[in-house]
Amino acid sequence: MPMTITEKILAAHIGKEAVCPDDFIEARVDIALGNDVTAPIAIREFESFGAKEVFDRDRLVLVPDHYAPNKDIKSAEQCKILRDFARKHKITHYFEIGSMGVEHALLPEQGIVLPGDLIIGADSHTCTYGALGAFSTGIGSTDLAAVMITGKIWFRVPRSIKICFTGELNPWVSGKDLILYTIGKIGVDGALYMSMEFTGPTITALDMDSRFSICNMAIEAGAKNGIIPPDETTLQYVTERAKREYTVYQSDSDAQYHQEYSFKTEEIQPQVALPPLPENSKSVEELEDIVIDQVVIGSCTNGRISDFRQAAKILKGHKVDPRVRLIIIPATQNIYKQAMEEGLFSIFLDAGAVISTPTCGPCLGGYMGVLAAGERALATTNRNFIGRMGHLESEVYLSNPAVAAASAITGKISHPKEVISSIAKEAKKT
């Protein structure tokens, strides 16, 4: 029976040769994830059930990243619940301050999530790991509690959507732009409880950082999961990190899809999603005089090393507009160290940016960049709902790191070529 990659992974995790879309299944879980917002609820439920031990201390991952380092007493108490539980149950993958990072950048970096895995996390952007060729999806805290006890979870097998990109990327276009463009075309409910499978020559040419960005935002189209079939790029990334065996799956050539889309990449320019939804995606060239107060470059969507290299290319030799606050947040300690060693921090600091330790922070309106009423931010994060980064009367626009960096310099949402052309003009003068 022909199957998609998602269907093959789910079939393997129930011990059957095949599954069909809309089947209800109870599947074995490879990795279960919780953070300082969602895991405390799961832990309370775990204990209320009278459970004595977790299903596998090597396969439960706890990461305090949303409000860590602790911003107040309540967040400190949340993180303490994780810390105490991890110590009590001798959880292998508990990440304390100093080793912690934004969970969806940290787990791939540490080789914890791998191709062919079935991964669940009490965080909606758990779909990020589909970039490795895994079935990965977000669940609720009470579901996480059940998985912590049993190591299993039930699903309805999602129908699959195939999204094919062909052509070469335009300058300053990355994976973030491809997913914003896609969501703009199909809407925030265009893939509701479906598997978004991204394919085509353009995807094959992307680095892993861009692939993570794409799958990270599959949930913003309502998808159950996003997934990219593994290739040489995937395996090179994984081979350097994997600490256990894994299985590579591919979709059959005659697999059935609920829907198929084909996009020509050369038609896609850098995108900006206008509030209050990611589907309000437009080419940056269509926008005029949108003045901003704050720029955030970071998050589980765009807080990786290639994102900061891209931003540094724009910011080098420039100053942030005096009306703008530029906040740089590397997603993990390793990324932080690498950016520092490559001299990127000097470029950011000389430009007038501030640099934070790894944290989700402002992405969810937590801290390190909360917006006041009437303020407007451009961020490389994944959501721009009303009140997402602070006051209900603030606004959030989404973009890739190059657009964010250029806009920090000009003080308004701008195409990177505007800044690059000014560099060329200055060079001619001198």
* 316-359 residue pLDDT tens: 999 999 999 999 999 999 999 999 999 999 999 999 999 999 99
Residue 390 Rama label (left phi>0; alpha psi -120 to 50; beta): left
- Render pLDDT for 177-188 as a digit per residue (tens, 0 to 9): 999 999 999 999
In this structure, the strands spanning 194-199 and 159-166 are parallel
Q: What is the mean pLDDT of residues 166-178?
A: 97
CATH architecture of the domain with residue range 271-429? 2-Layer Sandwich (3.30)
Closest CA to 221 of 198, 196, 201: 196
Across the range 121-145, mean pLDDT stands at 98
**Does residue 99 surpass a pLDDT of 70?**
yes
- CA distances, 127 to each of 44, 238, 410 (Å): 25, 17, 34
- Euclidean distance between CA atoms 340 and 174, whole angstroms: 23
Supply the pLDDT for residue 420. 80
Confidence of residue 425 (pLDDT cuts 50, 70, 90): low
Write down the residue that tokens 């097998």 correspond to. 157
Q: Is the pLDDT of residue 426 over 60?
A: no
**Distance in angstroms (rounded) separating the CA atoms of residues 265 and 170:** 8
Q: Does domain 5-263 have CATH number 3.40.50.1110?
A: no
Both tokens of residue 132? 């490795």
Q: Is the pLDDT of residue 368 over 90?
A: yes
Question: Is pLDDT of 74 > 90?
Answer: yes
94 bridge partner residues = 62
Predicted local distance difference test score (pLDDT) of residue 418: 86
Computed over every residue of the chain, the mean pLDDT equals 96
Contact indicator for 266, 167 with CB cutoff of 8 Å: yes
Q: What percent of the chain has pLDDT over 70?
A: 98
d(CA 92, CA 219): 28
Domain boundaries for CATH 3.30.499.10 within the chain: 5-263, 271-429
Quick one: angle between helices 73-88 and 39-48, nearest 10? 50
SS3 275: coil
For the CA atoms of 77, 40, 98, 341, the dihedral, rounded to the nearest 10 degrees, stands at: -120
Whether 119 shows a pLDDT value over 60: the answer reads: yes
Q: How many CB atoms lie within 10 A of CB 398?
A: 31
DSSP category for residue 390: B
The per-residue pLDDT for range 258-310, each reduced to its tens digit, is 999 999 999 999 999 999 999 999 999 999 999 999 999 999 999 999 999 99
The packing angle between helices 305-315 and 344-351, to 10°, is: 50
Residue 376 pairs in a beta bridge with: 395
Q: Distance between CA 10 and CA 323 in Å, rounded?
A: 51
Distance CA 226, CA 141 (A): 21
